[in-house]
Amino acid sequence: MSKNRLEAFSDGVLAIIITIMVLEIRAPEESSFQALKPLIPQLVIYLLSFFYMAIYWVNHHNITHALPSFNHKVIWTNMAWV
């Protein structure tokens, strides 16, 4: 497997995960700041999850750029690192 193919696959998977996470946030019924208050815990959880995924993505790309080639052992070790 080439490095570009693995990077493209991981980018796609992470984009799908982030999209599914944001789809779980529901818009409030009213358009006021008071209506946003109950959503604050959910937004904080989303932001923490987003930053966790971003850290994983950056570390994954650092690994892919540091290694000259890949084999199955490297791929599975990277997946277990999550």
Percent of the chain's residues with pLDDT above 70 = 95
Boundaries of domain holding 14: 3-80
Among candidate residues 23, 80, 81, 14, the one with its CA nearest the CA of residue 53: 14
Count structural domains, the chain: 1
Query: For position 48, what pLDDT does the model report?
Result: 93
pLDDT-derived band at 81 (thresholds 50, 70, 90) equals low
pTM for the complete prediction?
0.68
What is d(CA 16, CA 54) in angstroms, rounded to the nearest whole number?
Answer: 13
The residue with greater pLDDT, 67 or 52, is 52
